[in-house]
Amino acid sequence: MDPLGYSAANLPPGVAFNPSTGVLSGSPIQAGTYAVSITGKSPGAVPLNFEINVAALDPGFVGAFQGWIERNKTLNRNLGSTVQITTTTRGAYSGRLVTGVTAIAFRGSLIALPASSTSTHQTARILCVLPKTSVTLDVSLDGAGNMLAGSLSDGSANTVGIDGWRNVWPTTPGNADAFKGLHTFCLQHPNDTDESLPQGSGFGSLLVSPKSGISFITTSLSDGTKMSSATFVGPNGEVLLYGSLYTNLGSVVGPLAIDSDNNVYGNPTWMRPDLSAKPALTYRVGFGPIELTVSGGLYVPPNKGALILGLSPGLDNAQLVFSSGGLSDGISQTVTVTSLGSSSVLNRITAPVNLNQLHVNSLSVSTGEFSGSFLLPGASAADATRRANFYGQLVQTPGGAANGYGYFLLPKPPAAGQTMTTAPKLSGSLLLSAP
């Protein structure tokens, strides 16, 4: 005769008991050895006594994690996504999956398994269906490597990968010192002839706090779009680059990394949506996603009285080269970089009188950013002169010379019904270097 119910004693916190069936469920949240007793509610019932040993959660599974998620038209509107997860010593987790400006919150308990004969390390896993969706998040935590990996899936044909890392700096304050300092980089793509794509180089900078491990990133894409973010750097110099752009219809997503030599590299992707219905002047029909190549390193400003890029003093000691972006012929302009005195770190870039009236209007020695403009005369007296604004960044690329990389935006010759201010603009490339 089956008992009319059950009672239990000394269950581990976090474990639920069904008095009707006697079934245990849930996940223990406190380490220890528990002498459990389950007794059936019937005359002469003999208690079932046994031990549950709950191991402490590996500290490598506890803390803040972040990851990036690949693009998928169904799962994240082809924008890519990010995921932030926080875990506790009691095995609880909470997190957010962010796509553009949309966030889905989730929470639960880790699926943690102790080391065994087949696994020398404790394992931890997050497996949940995101609220109000049919999408499953499946992530495994690597406590030894301070990493995470997994997938996002709708259970049918759509599955994308997730990769990320743990914030180790709260337990090792100051150890992000290896990544400290301002790092600058350029973002380039391989096609420099397709007029439907920007042909200039985007650029950016990232500054890591050695105490907190927080990385502050600013980026200027080669269509003139700017983005910024702040996130913790990974244990091996990983940096997450994610930006929702163009009123949340486009994005940049992917990891960067700072290596032991302070080189910066990565291959994020960039998608610009079709903005034909909006008053956009650059690449209205959109493009991508296209892969960008990130290349850069630690930026070291010149000492007082010295010149940027390690240039030697003298006239015509540098050149600015502009190409593509609507130019039928490239423009190569010699310029002179001078110091503003032996007691100053400031530099100035000047050009002799030239057909294109090129001017470098600003140069920040502390950040390496510079900007200016040039004019492109019409092919005939009937054609209007066009003005291009340019923007650049001083960058130390791995194994190469320091140069200035960037882009210019040049209006196309106005078509019928257009003016110089409403004509579409193209993005071309600039390079500032020693002659």
pLDDT (tens digit per residue) in 388-405: 999 999 999 998 889 999
pTM of the model: 0.88
222: left (phi over 0), alpha (psi -120 to 50) or beta: alpha
CATH class of domain segment(s) 59-166: mainly beta
The pLDDT of 21-45, averaged and rounded, is 82
Asked which of 10-24, 41-55, 204-218, 316-330 is least confident by mean pLDDT, the reply is 41-55
Distance CA 84, CA 204 (A): 24
Quick one: pLDDT at residue 113?
A: 79
- pLDDT at 165 > cutoff 90: yes
Confidence of residue 408 (pLDDT cuts 50, 70, 90): very high
Quick one: pLDDT at residue 170?
A: 84
- pLDDT at 238 > cutoff 80: yes
Distance CA 405, CA 96 (A): 36
- pLDDT at 214 > cutoff 60: yes
The pLDDT of 159-187, averaged and rounded, is 90
Q: Which CATH architecture has domain 175-298?
A: Beta Barrel (2.40)
Quick one: pLDDT at residue 118?
A: 61
pLDDT (tens digit per residue) in 293-325: 999 999 999 999 999 999 999 999 999 999 999
Mean pLDDT score of the chain: 91
Under 8 Å between Cβ of 337 and 419: no
DSSP 74: H
Distance CA 149, CA 162 (A): 5
75: left (phi over 0), alpha (psi -120 to 50) or beta: alpha
